[in-house]
Amino acid sequence: MDEATPERWLPVVGYEAYYAISDWGRARSLRKGMILKPSYSNQGGYGLVILTANGNAVGRYIHRLVLEAFVGPCPPGMETRHLDGDPRNCALTNLAWGTSSENKQDQIRHGTHARCWDRCKNGHEFTPENTRLVYHPDGSLKQRVCRACANDKTKERYRARLTSGLTCTEEGCDDPLWVKGLCVKHYAQQWRANRQ
């Protein structure tokens, strides 16, 4: 934020005597008079601070603290939208309550939605033949899996087992160990028998 816009502070909802949150997205301990340093190690890179009161410590997302203090409680069925797509930008001007659909549209607009990427992290193209879709129980897309990378991992595990020197535990079988103490052939037989 710039100096032309003065920083405003309001009490953190539920922790009014202990913490304050600013419209710039900074949290402050009222008891110690210091700015809290957020953690960004969670999935998604959202800023998280630990709030302590009466011996209980709770992790809270900064973006939610800002909206709850300056806008009000989250309406039912709504979630936080980062309007510029940057999860570290928790300024009030960048935040809004919105539906999951609006949030997904923001992600598509910013190019951060999984369907917007055309290649996996190893550079393989996401073609229909090379992509396996994984869905949440509600039917929404969870992630795309690169089949080439998954196959490479399987081959790598197989090579590691071949060179381990361990063999199948079935009587009279000296084939390399694959999984659950069995070689590929015996594991496949056991798997087929269990399916019937």
Helices (H), the chain: 62-70, 100-110, 147-162, 184-195
Query: Quick one: 107 and 173 in the same domain?
Result: no
Query: Quick one: 109 and 172 in the same domain?
Result: no
Query: Quick one: 108 and 181 in the same domain?
Result: no
At 176 the pLDDT is: 78
Query: Please, what sign has the CA dihedral across residues 168, 171, 174, 175?
Result: negative
At 113 the pLDDT is: 66
In a domain? residue 193: yes
Q: For the chain, list residues with pLDDT below 50.
A: none
At 164 the pLDDT is: 74
Name the residue among 36, 40, 32, 63 with its Cα closest to residue 51: 36
Helices (H), 74-195: 100-110, 147-162, 184-195
At 2 the pLDDT is: 56
- Dump pLDDT digits (tens) for 93-116: 999 999 988 888 887 777 666 666
Q: What is the pTM of this model?
A: 0.59
- Give kind and range of the element (H or E) at residue 34: strand 34-35
Which distant-in-sequence residues (6+ apart) come within 8 Å of 6 by Cβ?
none
At 99 the pLDDT is: 92
Side-chain-facing half-sphere of 7: CA atoms under 13 Å: 15
Instruction: Find the domain containing 81 and state its range.
Output: 9-116
- Picking from 58, 83, 116, the residue at the C-terminal end of a domain is 116
Domain count, the chain: 2
At 65 the pLDDT is: 97
- Picking from 116, 142, 158, the residue at the C-terminal end of a domain is 116
At 177 the pLDDT is: 75
Name the residue among 122, 66, 130, 124 with its Cα closest to residue 92: 66
CATH code for the domain of 64: 3.90.75.20
Instruction: Name the one residue in this structure whose structure tokens are 């071949």.
Output: 162
Name the residue among 140, 107, 113 with its Cα closest to residue 126: 113
At 62 the pLDDT is: 96
Query: Quick one: 15 and 81 in the same domain?
Result: yes
Query: Quick one: 32 and 107 in the same domain?
Result: yes
In a domain? residue 153: no
In a domain? residue 145: no
- Picking from 84, 116, 148, the residue at the C-terminal end of a domain is 116
In a domain? residue 76: yes
